[in-house]
Every structure is written in C-alpha cells, then in structure tokens.
C-alpha cells in the first residue's frame, strides 16, 4: 500500500504540469462555492428573520420598513381606537443623491423606541427623550463606512447631526442612522406623517388585513425578506456556474487520472504481476486525486479568505461583509473530496476491465 | 505540407485517438460553459443600468435631494417656470410639450414595480412606448403594462390588478426599451389612485429636435430663474443611477468572470500538456523520420484548436440553454429586469481567449519538449 502511494506521488511530481492546472481548477471551483456561501450567509444575516413578532401598519403596496410608505397620524389614532395596546410610529426613508452619500434613515419615538427595537450599544450611548434636536445614533457599519465616532457630526440631507452613540443589531439595521421622529419629519418634509406604525400581534389585526385609506397590515420583517428574495435568481445562476465547474472538475480529474495511469499502464501491470493486488490501482488513483483536490481546497480557501478580507460589498446604502463560515468550509472540503472520489472511481473501474497481458505488452 | 494533406492527417489522427479526443472535448466543454456563463452574468450587470439610446428628447425635472424619483415633489408652477426659462433662452418653439408625471415604486405580489401616470396624449406619443397588443387606457381604471412586467407577474390583457384598494384593468401590453417593469396609466387615474391633487414627482419638458439636449440641460440649471431645490436630468442619467446602486455586484460578477478565465486558461493548457505527455514517443519518432519541429508543432496546434473549437460550440449551446432556463428566474432589482444572455462580444472574446490559451498550452509544452534529447524521448 505504502509503495503504491509513494509510486503515485512520485508520478505526480514527474508530470507536475497537468496536476498544477488541475489543482487550479479545483481551487476555482472551491472559491466560487465558498464565495457563494459567504454572500448567501451575509445576506441571510442582514435580511434574515428579525427577532420580532410584531405587525406593522404601512401604506399598501410599499415596503414601509425601507422606504415609500407614508401614513397620517389619524391612522395611529384609528389603531388605538380599535383597542390595540401599543402603537409606535417610525419613519423609514433614506437621504443622499448618489451611491456615495446614501444613508438609510429611521425616525424614532424617543420615548418608546426601545420597546420595539433591540440593539447593543458599541460606543457612546443610546438616544434619550431629553436629547436636544439634531442628535443621532448610528449603526456600527455606517459608522465604519463614514469613519464616525460619538461626538462627531453626520450630515443628513445637508444638515449636521451630532452622533451620540453607535449601535449593533447584527442585521441590515446596522447601516442606519436613527434620529428623533420630529427631526425626521422636519428633515424629510413629512409634516406630521410617519412611515409605519409598529403594533403587537394580539389578535385584533392580523397580517394580510387592510384598513380603509390604503393601509395594509403586514408581518414585521416582510420588507427585508422581499429584499433577500430579489437576490435568489442571481445566486441560482452563480450556482449553475458552480455546478458546471464541479462537473468540469470531475471530468477533467477523471480524464487526467485515467490518462496519467494509461501512460504508466505497463509499470502498473508489472506491479500487479509482482504481487500488488488490483485494489492497488484504486490506491494509486485515489492518492493522486485526494492530494490534488486538497491542495486545490487549500488554495481556494486561502484565495477566498484573501478576497473577502479586501472585498466588502456596498449595495444600496448597505455594506455586506461576506465571510467563510465553518459549515460552508467543511461542506466545500466535503464536496471537493466528492470530486476526488468520483474522479478516481471512473478510471479505476476502467482499468480494472483491461486485460493484464495486453497492458504488459504495451510499449 | 499541403493544407489538404495536413487536414486529412489531422482528422485521421483525431479519429484514431477518438476516445481521448472525446474525453478532452467533454472536459473542455464544461470549463468553457463556466466561463461563458460567468461572462454572461458580468454582462447582465454592466448593461443593467444603461438605457439604450432611444432618441428621447425629454428633460426631467426633479427635487435635487431625490435619489429615487418617488422622493421628489414638485407642482405645475415649478414645471412652468422651467419651461419659461427654456422659451426665453432658446425661443418660443424650443419646447414641444410640457407635462407632469406621477411616479411610484410599489411592491406587487412581492415584486418591485414602477407605476407612472402621465396625461393620456403623452402616454401614447411622448414616452417612446410601443403598443404591442391591446389598447391604450381609455379611463382612469385602465392601465397598460410593459412586457417585462407582464412576463414577470404572469399577467395578460384583461387581468385585473388590485392596487391600493383600486381594481385596475390591463388593456394593453407595451414595449419600453429600458426593460423596466412599469404599469402605465393616465395622469387623472394616477391622481385618483394615489390621492394627490397638485403634486407630482417628475416634470417632463420635451425639447425640440433642433436643440442640443445637454446644452439646454446645463443652461436651464444655471439660469437664475430656474427654481431652487430642483435638478434637471436626461433619461440616461436617471437610469445610470441603477448601475450605481448595484455597482458592487458588477465587481462580484467581474471576479467570477476573471476566475472562469483563469480556469479556461488552465483547462486548455491542461488538455494540451496531457496530449504532449501521452505522445512524447510518437512525436520523437516523427522527428526521427524527418518531420521538422515546426511542422509537428503546427500539427499539434491544429489538433488542439480543432478540439477546442468543437468544445466551444458545444459550450455555447449549453449556455444558450441555461440562458433560456434563466428566463424563468429573471434577476430583478428596483423593477428593472436583467436577463442572462450571450452578447456577440462575450462569444467572440471567449473564443479568442480559449484559442489563445490553447495555443499557449501547445507552445509551452512543445517548447519544453524541444529542449529534450531526442534519444531520451524515444526511450521514455
């Protein structure tokens, strides 16, 4: 067995060029797989299930949690009149005129926003009802993008706001700037209007209900869910590329293994004659396949890690930081090992069917 | 050597070695499929925000703070003031038409759609829309939808859409060259649907064809009589914002395409070097009986290029099938549909790069072999 492994490895070193090319192919396949997984999990983290069971009232056919909804304060009064125990208004919009200065903005009721928003303060403090006008707390991703710290000023639609703290939620919200509801209404020209009302799911209204005046009740988190869904077709196509590369890797590996073994068919036949069992051929091929794919996996993983360390994707005012998760990494290794197994089984089966005497005669 | 003799030997050799040739072609095909598909994605995002030149003569007036037209707010006095500036600067016939447009981005069935309401006469003539099927809206409850919107939602003429408590009838399917999912309706229909009276989002000035549009745009913006707080855009400039919004996705797609390019280079190099490794002795024998290295190299190059060409054609077919399949799952961001397709540029570039890397593979391997001793090669 060891002799066969040594022979196999010596042969790899002797004909290193096709093996190097093959390792690059496996590395590329691994890179695409890990990259895809990294972006998927980054999106899942940003726009995945929010930790709230609330409902929201928003203008029909809009994604009020991001932008586009506008409700008059009378809607809030109507909700309270229906017996709903807690009706908290918020404004969701964005400022900026280009990709470079876009900021996602949330206007919050300083008295009650902490009842419906959970977050962790990373630096400074949270906004308080006693805060003066033009104060803001901002998500840590936005703070990182704009290099802002508590005590500095952030410009929102041409006006300066004092940053009092940075917060973290672990979702897309970390890209937002939060200011008081009144400041947001004045800044955006909303008058007394708001974007949404956050209400508890206590059985009075349910998701899917509508109210007169084009108001819809939806589950909180529907907007992020729709955003995430928009990316699925793109991922599906990238997945097709990954599958194509995976098939290319299996076929090319089988091709290389078979042809390399074919070049050495006489030597391999001699080994069988002097007592090596036929499973030696499997060991010979599998050794080459595993060494090759694992080298490819290491190269692919290192390249992905390098790429992710330089690359953060900025999309419509949000920063996505993809990373290699442990699960994705293990899955990538498993799939590459699968490529090695599939790629070596075919040539091993082929060789087992060849006549030993014919192989010995070959020159 | 005559070309016909060369060709005859080439095909005969490929046929004699058909098992390995087929294996090579199959693995090359899979590699080229990855490259073409990745390039197609890259193309999708590069073309995403660009609007084809439609010969539009529109200048669009919007609030200067608005990134999305929906954030803009203006009224007739602003639009009229802008039209007056153009009249004053460029003469009374400089503006062909002035009209308001109500703009909304809505979520319908979980998909983003744009809704645009303009006066009926401008809808039919002013917006580069072509009626493909059905009729233009006759009343406030009737709409026409772009074919992208119809296809995306599986709608047909005669269907009714429930938007904001209103039941709207689709009377026609229209073509709009920007490839956006848009519901078009009359201005009065839009006013009713969105419960607005005086405000709208975009003011449109249609400028006479004899004038240079960018010049009018700059003059208008710089004129002291042009209302403060508003900006003037060309159609193309608004669409370019979409490219900006997904700019980083272009980067990602480009990385995938670059990666696939590396794969194609290694893949073809691999195929060429394997052939060389297998046929060292054959080549040495040919050299011994008098064939020059150049002739052998040419022969191997021809053989590899032929295999690569066949693989490329097969891969093209496979990616065309993938593109048809992907129509079922169009990529839609901000109501603009991006469809995977292979542009002639991608195909030609792919073919060129594939052939170049195959040639490089042959050259590198034959070059390395030519430095070896002939007797050693014969003994191997």
Q: In this structure, what are the phi and psi dihedrals at residue B241, rounded to the nearest 5 degrees?
A: -65, -30
Measured from the Cβ of residue A234, the count of other Cβ atoms closer than 10 Å reads 24
DSSP A132: P
Reduce the DSSP state of residue B339 to 3 states and report it.
coil
Q: Print pLDDT tens along chain B (380 aa).
A: 567 777 787 788 888 878 778 878 887 887 788 788 878 877 777 666 555 556 678 899 999 888 888 889 999 999 999 999 999 999 989 999 999 999 998 888 777 888 999 999 888 776 678 899 999 999 999 999 998 889 888 899 999 998 888 899 999 999 887 778 899 999 999 999 998 988 999 999 999 988 999 999 999 999 999 999 999 998 878 777 766 666 677 777 777 777 777 777 777 777 767 777 677 777 778 778 877 777 777 888 888 888 889 999 999 998 888 888 777 767 666 666 777 778 888 888 888 888 887 888 778 777 766 666 666 665 65
Give CA–CA dist B42/A245, Å, rounded: 17
Cβ(A19)–Cβ(A8) below 8 Å: no
Q: Per residue in A120-142, pLDDT tens?
A: 999 999 999 999 899 999 999 99
Interface contact A258-B23, CB threshold 8 A = yes
Q: Six-digit token pair at A163?
A: 């940053």
pLDDT digits (tens, 9 = 90+) for A160-216: 999 999 999 988 899 999 999 999 999 999 999 999 999 999 999 999 899 988 899
Q: How far apart are CA B197 and CA B200, in angstroms?
A: 8
d(CA A317, CA A174): 11
C-beta atoms of B71 and A248 within 8 A: no
Domain positions in chain B are: 3-50+246-379, 65-228
H-only helix segments in A72-180: 73-81, 113-116, 140-146
Measured from the Cβ of residue B13, the count of other Cβ atoms closer than 10 Å reads: 17
| pLDDT tens digits along A309-335 | 876 777 666 777 788 888 888 887 887
In which residue are the tokens 């229909």 written?
A: B189
Is B333–A31 a contact, with Cβ atoms under 8 angstroms apart?
no
Per-residue tokens: B68: 């999305």
Domain boundaries, chain A: 2-47+228-361, 55-220
* Residues of chain B contacting A252 with CB distance shorter than 8 Å: 27, 30-31, 267, 270
pLDDT at A140: 93
Task: Tell me how many degrees the CA angle A40-A46-A52 measures, rounded to the nearest 5.
Answer: 125
Q: Where does residue A230 rank: exposed (0-12), middle (13-18), buried (19+ CB within 10 A)?
A: middle
The residue among A73, A70, A66 whose CA lies nearest residue A50 is A66
Give Dmax (Cα) for chain A. Answer: 96
What are the structure tokens assigned to A121, written together? 């303060």
* A259 contact residues in B (CB cutoff 8 A): 20, 23, 274, 277-278
State ipTM: 0.70
| Among candidates B73, B110, B247 on the partner chain, residue whose Cβ is nearest the Cβ of A99 | B247
- pLDDT tens, N- to C-terminus, chain A (363 residues): 777 788 788 878 877 777 777 788 778 777 878 887 888 788 777 777 667 789 999 999 888 898 889 999 999 999 999 999 999 999 999 888 776 778 999 999 999 999 999 999 999 999 999 998 999 999 999 999 899 999 999 999 889 999 999 999 988 899 999 999 999 999 999 999 999 999 999 999 999 899 988 899 999 988 777 777 777 777 777 777 777 767 777 777 777 777 767 776 777 778 777 777 767 777 888 888 888 888 888 988 898 888 888 767 776 667 777 888 888 888 878 877 887 787 777 777 777 777 777 777 665
- pTM equals 0.75
Alpha carbons A260 and B303: distance in angstroms, whole number: 20
Could you tell me the CA-to-CA distances from A162 to A114, A155, A166 in Å, in that order? 20, 9, 12
- What's the CA gap between B367 and B369, in Å, rounded? 5
Region class of A83: left (phi > 0), else alpha (psi between -120 and 50), else beta: left
Chain A residues closer than 8 Å to B261 by CB: none
Instruction: Please judge whether B241 and A98 are an interchain contact, meaning their C-beta atoms are less than 8 angstroms apart.
Output: yes
Output the CA angle A43-A49-A52, nearest 5 degrees: 140
């Amino acid at each position: 067995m060891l002799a066969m492994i040594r022979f196999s490895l010596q042969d790899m070193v002797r004909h290193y060029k096709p093996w190097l090319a093959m390792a690059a192919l496996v590395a590329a396949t691994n890179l695409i797989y890990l990259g895809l997984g990294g972006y998927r999990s980054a999106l899942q983290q940003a726009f995945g299930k929010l930790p709230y069971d609330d409902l929201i009232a928003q203008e029909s056919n809009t994604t009020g949690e991001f932008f586009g909804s506008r409700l008059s304060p009378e809607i809030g009064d109507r909700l309270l009149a229906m017996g709903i125990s807690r009706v908290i208004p918020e404004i969701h919009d964005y400022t900026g005129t280009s990709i470079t200065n876009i900021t996602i903005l949330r206007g919050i009721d300083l008295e009650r926003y902490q009842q419906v928003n959970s977050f962790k303060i990373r630096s400074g403090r949270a906004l308080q009802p006693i805060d003066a006008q033009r104060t803001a707390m901002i998500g840590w991703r936005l703070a990182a993008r704009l290099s802002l710290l508590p005590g500095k000023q952030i410009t929102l639609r041409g006006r300066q706001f004092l940053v009092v703290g940075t917060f973290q939620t672990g979702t897309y919200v970390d890209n937002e700037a939060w200011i008081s509801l009144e400041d947001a209404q004045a800044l955006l020209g909303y008058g007394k209007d708001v974007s949404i009302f956050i209400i508890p799911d206590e059985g009075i209204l349910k998701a899917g209900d509508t109210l007169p005046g084009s108001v819809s009740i939806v589950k909180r988190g529907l907007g992020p869910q729709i955003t995430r869904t928009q990316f699925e077709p793109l991922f599906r196509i990238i997945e097709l590329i990954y599958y194509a590369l995976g098939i290319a890797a299996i076929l090319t590996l089988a091709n290389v293994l078979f042809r390399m073994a074919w070049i050495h068919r006489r030597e391999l036949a001699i080994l069988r004659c002097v007592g090596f069992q036929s499973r030696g051929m499997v060991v010979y091929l599998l050794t080459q396949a595993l060494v090759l794919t694992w080298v490819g996996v290491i190269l692919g993983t290192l390249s992905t890690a390098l790429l992710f360390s330089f690359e953060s994707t900025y999309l419509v005012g949000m920063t996505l930081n993809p990373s290699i998760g442990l699960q994705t990494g293990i899955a990538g290794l498993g799939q590459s090992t699968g490529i090695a197994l599939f790629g070596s089984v075919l040539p091993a089966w082929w060789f087992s069917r060849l006549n030993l005497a014919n192989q010995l005669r070959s020159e | 050597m005559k070309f016909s003799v060369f060709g005859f030997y080439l095909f005969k050799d490929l046929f004699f070695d058909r098992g390995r040739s087929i294996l090579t072609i199959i693995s090359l095909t899979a590699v080229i499929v990855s490259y073409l598909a990745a390039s197609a994605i890259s193309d999708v995002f590069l073309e995403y925000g660009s609007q084809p030149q439609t010969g539009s003569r529109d200048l669009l007036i919007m609030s200067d703070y608005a990134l999305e037209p929906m954030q803009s707010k203006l009224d007739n006095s602003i639009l009229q003031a802008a039209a007056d500036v153009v009249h004053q600067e460029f003469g009374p016939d400089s503006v062909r038409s002035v009209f308001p447009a109500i703009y909304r981005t809505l979520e319908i069935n979980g998909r983003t759609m744009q809704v645009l309401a303009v006066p009926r006469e401008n809808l039919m003539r002013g917006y580069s829309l072509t009626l493909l099927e059905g009729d233009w809206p006759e009343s406030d409850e009737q709409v026409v939808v772009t074919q992208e919107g119809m296809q995306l939602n599986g709608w047909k003429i005669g269907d009714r859409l429930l938007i904001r408590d209103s039941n709207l009838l689709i009377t026609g399917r229209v073509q709009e060259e920007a490839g956006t999912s848009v519901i078009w309706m009359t201005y009065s229909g839009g006013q009713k649907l969105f419960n607005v009276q005086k405000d709208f989002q975009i003011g449109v000035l249609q400028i006479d064809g004899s004038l240079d549009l960018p010049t009018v745009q700059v003059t208008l913006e710089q004129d002291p009589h042009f209302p403060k707080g508003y900006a003037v855009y060309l159609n193309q400039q608004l669409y370019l914002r979409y490219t900006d919004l997904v700019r980083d996705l272009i980067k990602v797609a480009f990385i995938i395409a670059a990666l696939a390019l590396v794969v194609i280079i290694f893949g073809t190099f691999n195929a060429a070097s394997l052939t060389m490794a297998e046929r060292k002795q054959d080549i040495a024998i040919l050299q011994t009986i008098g064939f020059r290295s150049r002739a052998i190299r040419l022969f191997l190059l021809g053989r590899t290029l032929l295999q690569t060409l066949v693989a490329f054609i097969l891969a093209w077919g496979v990616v065309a099938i993938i593109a048809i399949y992907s129509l079922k799952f169009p990529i839609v961001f901000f109501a603009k549909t991006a469809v995977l397709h292979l542009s002639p540029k991608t195909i030609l570039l792919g073919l060129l790069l594939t052939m170049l890397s195959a040639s490089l593979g042959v050259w590198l391997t034959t070059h390395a072999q030519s430095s070896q001793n002939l007797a050693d090669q014969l003994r191997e």
